[in-house]
Amino acid sequence: MEAFLLPAFTPAEPLVERACGYRQWRLLKGEVLVPGSEQMNGFQQQQVTLQNFDLEVLLGEGNYSQIFQATLRSTHKTVALKIIDKTKVKRYHKMDEVLIERWVLSRLRHPSIVELYHAFQDVGAAYLSMEAVPGGELWQCCHKTGLPMTIARNYAAEVLEVLQWLHEHDVVHRDVKPENVLISGDGHVKMIDFGTAKLLRNPIKLGLDDEDEGGKRPRRKGFKEFLGTPEYMAPETINNKFADQRADLWSFGCFVAMILVGKPPFRGGSDYLTFKRVLARKYQLPEGVPVVAADLIGKLLVLEPAKRLGGRWPAGVPPADQLGVKKKDKGGEEGSDSSVAAFRMTRTYDHEAIRAHPFFEGARARDLYKQKVPLPMLSEIAMREVMMKHLGTPSPSDL
């Protein structure tokens, strides 16, 4: 087996050789997350290897990775351990996905993003030790039947908070869907799967500098990559046109429709038919969808990004120094706290316009963001209300 090191993963064992043929992101150079270098959620500072974990249950697997429920022996704490096969990463050219997920999880911590505990590697694999989320996927609770608006809007509000957090740091998720939203033990959301995310300020990508060579005209920041889940992809992504954070706003509109109705609005019999429906903006919500919900979905699912709700720059946005961005000194060095702040945008799209929509009235989004409002387990409430609303069955309390 050819041995190579993934940058930004700490080696758990000495390697015979370093033979990584991939280009390495300059923004990640030197940003090594040392396993256990910070004390998080009861984890003591320690160097870990795979031998420090007891693997218990296979939770899921993808093209190049598996996720296990595991226990860290030293603390007896349950974690989700993602094991990434380095041979398959090389075969499928997925190194960028592995690195961006590690970067987002370690740098952009948020109450509604699954927490990263350790990142390490050995000869054959790289490992991400993450927070275990017991409630399962939101998709499991909403597919086919959908959820009542009183429940759906709270989860949509939390997802919107995560998207704003990502967008403010120039990150586009690019795969917003219920399958990538987990439900925690207290009923709040935890977003996962940042391998498809795009860091728009990656300095080695063309067109992402703040200014052109003449230093006069700011360059647009975006991407032209065809990536995501077809039923949630924005039309500009399908057309391989310039796309940015507003592609997530389209996906968010599909997400809201999905959790309310139980299926994505543009689903076709094939990817090709799905794309045709998206580009024609051909969708129809079933009867019974609340008017305010249909209005929100309609204002997000607009073909032209600038005309989507929240798709314009808000007026009166404060300058960079008021947003926490560390200005560079004469030597070009950032301040000590600039590891995240250096990537903070000087302005972002108008998420407040979305949050102000009547659909979110009563959601108390800011309290949800801080997780001050306890939410009951969705499996208990949703099943009862879905039975009443969609199946005409009395709730257990009525029996």
Binding-site residues from annotation for ATP: 82
Using alpha carbons, list the distances in angstroms from residue 103 to 25, 194, 351.
11, 9, 24
What 3-state class would DSSP assign to 198?
A: strand
Distance of CA 34 to the CA centre of its chain: 23
Using a 10 angstrom Cβ sphere, with 0-12 exposed, 13-18 middle and 19 or more buried, the burial of residue 336 is exposed
- Contact residues for 393 (Cβ-Cβ < 8 A; gap 6+): 387
- Specify whether the CB–CB gap between 247 and 308 falls below 8 A: no
Residue in 96, 122, 170, 175 annotated catalytic? 175
Spatial distance between the Cα atoms of 25 and 12, rounded to a whole number of angstroms: 22
- Residue 174's CB is within 10 A of a number of other CB atoms, namely 23
Which amino acid, residue 1? M
Quick check: is 175 catalytic?
yes
Binding-site residue numbers are 82
- Contact residues for 280 (Cβ-Cβ < 8 A; gap 6+): none
Q: Which residues are catalytic?
A: 175
